[in-house]
Amino acid sequence: MRCIYRETYYKCGDYLEVNIYPAYKTGKGRRKKAKPTSDTKQKLNELASENKLVRIANANFTDNDLKVELTYNSDHHPESDEAASSELRKFLRRVKRYRKRNNLPDLKYIAVTEKGKKLGRYHHHLIMNSMSIKDLVELWGNGIVSTNVLQFDENGIASLARYMMKQARELAGKKKYTRSQNLIDPPAVSRDSVSNHRVKELAENIECREQFEKLHEGYFLAKASVVHSDVNGGIYIYARYYSKEAEWCKQRQKRLNRSRSSGGLSSR
């Protein structure tokens, strides 16, 4: 068998997520993924779970949508994980009914429940499509509702999705997050066109944007990371790109151009 490198990428709205990893080609043309060590596999599994949530968030939401935090008053605070989950489900049902009555688009959401380490108080973090803040407060009814519009950057809303995943891991044994069924799961596209030599170059020069951007025209590199297997020497590369045509990117470029024309110093 000989080792080849496969690239799998996902288009997520204005973002592109790329994974490059080793696979083996047998004499009969069959391929299989290289098996990493247990430590490497754990790191890759954690990264894969986190990146899946980032993909879903970037593919389904825009800067018209909301980041929401739901907290409880003392007299409404749930006494268990199950009770907190129940309150969240009831809230989501009320929101769905409200949106239907008022001819709003169907609810889209990602939600996690967090339990405070010091006082054990529950609260919920959500990403959801836009609606009246006043109505959200009335529909929650258990305490304070904090909201902000989603703010996208080179990584989309990856930082928010990673934060939500981190909080979800604190509830051991529970489902990490809940989501509406109408969210798009970006499909994977694979190709075996990245040579072993090119993969090694990318891994050795992980900060070199130009090398990565040659692989995907029309995109800027946002971030890249590499994991090395300590058994088979395999290289696992993860990269996230953003479209040069993204509206927020165009607006930022206009601001940079104005800054340059007035004598300011700026860079991508």
> Please, which pLDDT band fits residue 251 given cuts at 50, 70 and 90?
confident
Structure tokens of 35?
């098996």
Q: 225 or 27: which carries more pLDDT confidence?
A: 225
pLDDT at 40: 66
Average pLDDT over residues 104-112: 97
> What mean pLDDT is predicted for residues 231-252?
84
pLDDT tens-digit map of 37-53: 666 677 767 778 888 99
Q: How far apart are CA 235 and CA 6, in angstroms?
A: 11
* Number of C-beta neighbours around residue 223 at 10 A: 14
pLDDT tens digits, residue range 156-203? 999 999 999 887 776 655 567 899 999 999 999 999 878 899 999 999
For the entire predicted model, the pTM comes to: 0.82
Q: Quick check: 213 and 219 in contact, CB under 8 A?
A: yes
Instruction: Map residue 100 onto helix, strand or coil.
Output: helix
Handedness of CA 215, 216, 220, 223 (dihedral sign): negative
CB contact set of 153 (below 8 Å; sequence gap of 6+): 248
Give the span between the Cα atoms of 88 and 68, in whole angstroms.
12
Least confident of 62-71, 81-90, 163-172: 163-172
- 38 residue type, one letter: S
> Does the structure show a pLDDT above 70 at 83?
yes
CA neighbor of 240 nearest in space, from 44, 81, 55: 55
Q: Residue 267's pLDDT band (boundaries 50, 70, 90)?
A: low
The number of residues making up the chain comes to: 268
Contacts with 61 (C-beta within 8 Å, 6 or more apart), sequence order: 108, 127, 129, 150, 157
Task: Find the mean pLDDT for residues 97-107.
Answer: 97
Stretch (H or E) spanning 173: none
Please tell me the distance from the alpha carbon of residue 196 to that of residue 248, in angstroms, as a whole number.
35
Decide yes or no: CATH 3.30.70 for domain 66-149: yes
Does residue 26 have a pLDDT over 80? no
Instruction: Locate CATH 3.30.70 in the chain.
Output: 66-149
Which amino acid does the sequence have at 92? L
- Helix, strand, coil percentages, rounded to 5, for the chain: 35, 30, 35
Give, to the nearest 10 degrees, the angle between helix 133-140 and helix 81-101: 130
What's the 3-state SS for 75-87?
A: HHCCCCHHHHHHH
Distances (CA, A) of 53 to 60, 81, 212, 223: 11, 22, 23, 17
CA angle 96, 100, 101 (to 5 degrees): 120
pLDDT band of residue 33 (cuts 50, 70, 90) is low
Mean pLDDT of the chain: 86
| Percentage, residues of the chain above pLDDT 90 | 60
Give the least confident one: 71-75, 81-85, 115-119: 115-119
